[in-house]
Amino acid sequence: MTQTTERTRRHPRPPAPAAPEALPLELAELVTDPGTRIVVCCGAGGVGKTTTSAALALAAAEAGRTVVVLTIDPARRLAQSLGLVELDNEPRRVDVPEARGELHAMMLDMKRTFDDIVVAHSTPERAQQILENPFYQTLSSSFAGTQEYMAMEKLGQLRAGDRWDLIVVDTPPSRSALDFLDAPNRMSRFLDGTMIRLLTAPSRTGFRIASASFVFFSRIISKILGGQLLRDISSFVAALDTMFGGFRERATATYELLRRPGTWFLVVATPEPDALREASYFVDRLSAEQMPLAGLVLNRTHPPTTTALSATRAEGAAEEVLEAGAADAELAAGALRVHAERMAQATREQHLADRFTSAHPEVAVRTVPAAAGDVHDLDGLRGMADALTGPDGDTPTGVPRRRILPARRR
């Protein structure tokens, strides 16, 4: 017997620790807690993020809170599910019979939000000058990063008004959903950039004497952009100069608001490799930004009706039924095979969920079974809300597993 074997016998190696399991995510507590003021839903496209946002908002309204759900996604799914023809930049009340609170919904209009800021923070003459500027009209409607910054502005406006008990934000269906976290830094870099300082230098000195470097710079840029565009940019920057500080301050204030108690980020995914890969990205990014993460909603899972019969045994039973030639054998075998397929799918989903949990054991998880059809009205949303806020299953897919659930953190 080797020394290693002898040592192992005398001092047996302790059993490997149980694989980590995500903490349960109690969304009922989250949306009804008066301390929760903002919930930001983010995730990949096609995972049910818009429906999740609307369902949580509905649950909070029916529990007695005054709620507004803001979507940045230009798709019309939110309006349709709430029974509205369309949404715009102002909150619209949703008729929810017998609700103890109020539910309102809106969709971010990037250009209108920018226009409102210009009007609110400048004189009428200066506002008109900015609004009519061709460069501003392009910037406010299609410039990269403007949507994310305006989302920050709108969220700040809603929160500052103190009208809403809860604001639910439905972000765009891509990684750019978190780009609004960069809005303060991006705005600061834009305002403090060399081009902006050069363009504003003549206006700040009243166009008295332009330096030789600026003249040289303007000639180069004129050749690249065209003289008229350069004049439009210079005119826009000069008119907007007095508002620059306010832009930066408001963006920074909203960014800090997202990090304070009362705000929660909720990542939504489906049990698919790409969606969970995106979810991992969101979790890591939020952790890096020190943003408060409530947890993960694992949407559209497929738990089997029973776990007493494995996929392998169901397939074997189907063959035995057919061989026996009993009455309705085809029907019985078909039902067994459907169950086998469902069990196999649940097992695959469980494997993906386990892999995510192993990488992020601290992330709370809430599972939502796939609905029979698309959610397109309040009844469908209410069913989704019940699945989100009701008792959760033991595992994401219903497949039992032996694990030690750690005590829930407070």
Q: Is residue 359 within 8 Å of 289, Cβ to Cβ?
A: no
Residue 246 CB: number of other CB atoms within 10 A?
Answer: 13
Residue with the bigger pLDDT between 315 and 266: it is 266
The yes-or-no verdict on residue 316 having pLDDT over 80 is no
> If you write DSSP's letter for every residue of 345-381 in order, what string do you get?
HHHHHHHHHHHHHHH-TTS-EEEEEPPSS---SHHHH
| CATH code for the part of the protein at 27-306+343-389 | 3.40.50.300
Beta-carbon-side half-sphere exposure of residue 394 (alpha carbons within 13 Å): 9
Q: What is the pLDDT of residues 170-187, one digit of tens each?
A: 887 666 667 777 776 676
With vertex at residue 311, the alpha carbon angle to CA 305 and CA 314, rounded to the nearest 5 degrees, is: 85
Q: Tens digits of per-residue pLDDT, 151-165? A: 888 888 899 888 999
Q: What is the mean pLDDT of the chain?
A: 76
pLDDT band at 226 (very low <50, low <70, confident <90, very high): very low
| Bridge partners, residue 103, by sequence | 67, 94
Among 35-39, 215-219, 272-276, 288-292, the minimum mean pLDDT is found in 215-219
pLDDT the model gives residue 175: 64
Query: Whose CA is closest to 191, among 250, 151, 134, 138?
Result: 250
- Residue 222 binned pLDDT confidence (cut-offs 50, 70, 90): very low
Does the pLDDT value for residue 259 go beyond 60?
yes
Residue 112 has pLDDT above 50, yes or no: yes
Q: How far apart are CA 243 and CA 129, in angstroms?
A: 14
Q: Give yes or no for residue 20 having a pLDDT over 70.
A: no
Q: What percent of the chain has pLDDT over 90?
A: 28
Q: Supply the DSSP symbol for 394.
A: S
pLDDT at position 55: 94
Q: What percent of the chain has pLDDT over 70?
A: 68
| Spatial distance between the Cα atoms of 346 and 377, rounded to a whole number of angstroms | 28
**pLDDT category of residue 395 using cuts at 50, 70 and 90:** low
Does the predicted model carry a pTM greater than 0.85? no
Q: Which residues pair with 66 in a beta bridge?
A: 102
- Sheet containing 92-94: give its strands across: 92-94, 102-107, 66-71, 166-170, 38-43, 263-269, 293-301, 365-369
Locate the domains of the chain by residue range.
27-306+343-389
- Does residue 112 sit in helix, strand or coil? helix
Query: Rounded CA gap, 235 and 131, in Å?
Result: 12
Q: What is the DSSP string of 271-282?
A: SSHHHHHHHHHH
405 has a pLDDT exceeding 60: no
* 319-373 pLDDT tens trace: 776 767 666 777 777 777 777 788 888 889 989 999 999 999 999 999 899 887 7
Surface-to-core class of residue 266, CB atoms within 10 Å of its CB (0-12 exposed, 13-18 middle, 19+ buried) = buried
pLDDT value of residue 1? 46
Tokens encoding 329: 């054998």
Q: Which of 143-157, 234-248, 298-312, 377-391 has the lowest mean pLDDT?
A: 234-248
